[in-house]
Amino acid sequence: EHPGTEVHVLDMLHGWKSLAPLWYQVKNFYTSLLPVMNNASDGIILIGYSQGGIISRGIVEAMEHNITTFISLSSPQAGQYG
């Protein structure tokens, strides 16, 4: 428990929008994440689950950010077998 820690859940791109090209998803997610990053002068911790991990990695690798820690949970970062 960390009293005073802000937590933001960006729940977006549902249904057919989740099948949009990855760069479309990355740009939309980044646009929604910008206000959070702008209000965090000491940086943010970004956690992405499943497809959110792939989108988050796109932000980490290609966009200007102040992400200090990136955690990817159950994301097929190196592809998926089966």
Q: How far apart are CA 18 and CA 52, in angstroms?
A: 10
pLDDT in the model for residue 77 = 86
Give the CA angle between residues 67, 71, 77 to the nearest 5°. 110
pLDDT digit string (tens) for 62-76?
999 999 999 999 998
Cα–Cα distances (Å) from 40 to 14, 24, 45, 51, 76, in that order, read 27, 25, 10, 24, 29
pTM equals: 0.86
CB atoms within 10 A of CB 48: 22
Q: Which amino acid is present at 14?
A: H
Beta bridge partners of 73: 49
